[in-house]
Amino acid sequence: MCRRTRLTTKLKRLLISRYGFVLLTACLVICMNEIVCYEWMVMTWPNIDSLANKSTVRKFLLVADPQLIGEKDEGFFGLITRNDADRYLANTFSRANNYVKPDGILFLGDIFDEGLSASDDEFNRYFNRFDTIFQYKSRGNKSIVIPGDNDVGGEYYGDKNPYQRQRFSSYFGRMIQLYRQKDIEILRLDIDLRDDYLKTKQSRVLEETQSRPMTSAFRIVLNHWPMLTRSATFTKSFLHDLNPNLILKGDSHHFTIHLHDRNRSVTEMLAREFLPQPVLPIDVAQTRYVHEISIPTCSYRMGVSRIGYGVLLLDTATKSAHLTILSTPRRYGYLYVYATYGICFVIGFIFMLLCPGRSIVTYPRS
């Protein structure tokens, strides 16, 4: 028998042996959980080519609440859970980034889960993980990162500390900043749930905008916390000062769209969890209306079932805006597959020890 035939025979014997069966099924499970599910996810994303390929369209990838798992709260399995959550974010983000090829990436706060309680060394390690997952430093000024309550506080009384805000700024830039590019203005803000706009933020915001409302076709505010569902005085003065037509936020972990009618001073919810159509046009032409869009979390650890990334497409020629959501897999389902396989493996291993045998089927010797 030639060498090649002997090798083929040995391989066939290995595959039909008990060890071969275990190896083969393990490879299939890993392949499904780590590759196939992500590739399948990409195939279900809405087709944005007709808009995205236009030279006048600016594309933004919206990333909300990645909440990188910290080093204190996870206990004994922290290393495993952190690695899995980081790998999930890297796998989904890299595919979303390739799919959209964005001109800008907007991070809508709560970057870290334990940013508030982190020491300087821990914060630096968290930042390095963030950089590895999202390639933040290598993208230069293409990304804007705003803070959330898990990064700098602001969710309840007494959790704010000027040092944490300063530290966040030293990594991600100023808290309040206006970016202008052609017909697009983007104002990053940090107005938390406890801030009184008129008392604590108005003067600093007006300093940045030189006391002029925004005037471009696309006047976008980034703020981790909601702006339209606060008191009438807050909303009215904020809208009067800045004149935005789009507010992008995170924090809730859910996807919602709120519409504020400035003439009637009322806010209503237009969508929750699901987009009415795969690629939704957003009316930004009428100064009367302001849209506030809450982007779902991209982390499977946040306890919500619908997770993913937002995509905002702004056509500077037609002055039209479109929004879509790129949903990402529910990781827990795949972790359960691993757990089930692990249990079957242990049972099978015990069975093999108790009933030693060479193969599942008898293969003729040559």
Binding residues (CB under 5 A) for Zn ion: these are 110, 148-149, 251
Q: Can you tell me the distance from the alpha carbon of 258 to that of 292, in angstroms, rounded to the nearest whole number?
A: 5
Rounded least distance, CB 126 to Zn ion, Å:
16
Which lies closer to Zn ion via its Cβ, residue 110 or residue 114?
110
CA torsion through residues 198, 204, 205, 209, sign: positive
Residue 190 Cβ, how far from Zn ion at the closest point, in Å? 12
CB of 154 to Zn ion, least distance (A): 8
What are 259's strand-pairing partners? 268, 291
- Tokens coding 123: 């914060």
Cβ nearer to Zn ion, comparing 294 with 320: 294
For the bound state, the minimum distance from the C-beta of residue 149 to Zn ion, rounded and expressed in Å, comes to 4
Task: Compute the least distance from the CB of residue 115 to Zn ion, in Å.
Answer: 11
Nearest distance from C-beta of residue 309 to Zn ion, angstroms: 17
**By C-beta, is 185 or 192 nearer to Zn ion?**
192
> Residue 269 Cβ, how far from Zn ion at the closest point, in Å?
19
Q: Which is nearer to Zn ion, 253 or 331 (CB)?
A: 253
Whether the CB-CB separation of 147 and 195 falls below 8 Å is answered with no
Instruction: Give the span between the Cα atoms of 312 and 284, in whole angstroms.
Output: 13
Select the residue whose beta carbon is closest to Zn ion and give its number: 251
Rank residues 190 and 241 by Cβ distance to Zn ion and give the closer one: 190
- Residue number with CB closer to Zn ion (41 or 68): 68
Q: Which CB, 84 or 149, lies closer to Zn ion?
A: 149
Q: Which is nearer to Zn ion, 110 or 190 (CB)?
A: 110
Please report how close the Cβ of residue 253 comes to Zn ion at its closest, in angstroms: 8
**CB 96, min distance to Zn ion, A:** 21
Cβ proximity to Zn ion: between 70 and 148 the closer is 148
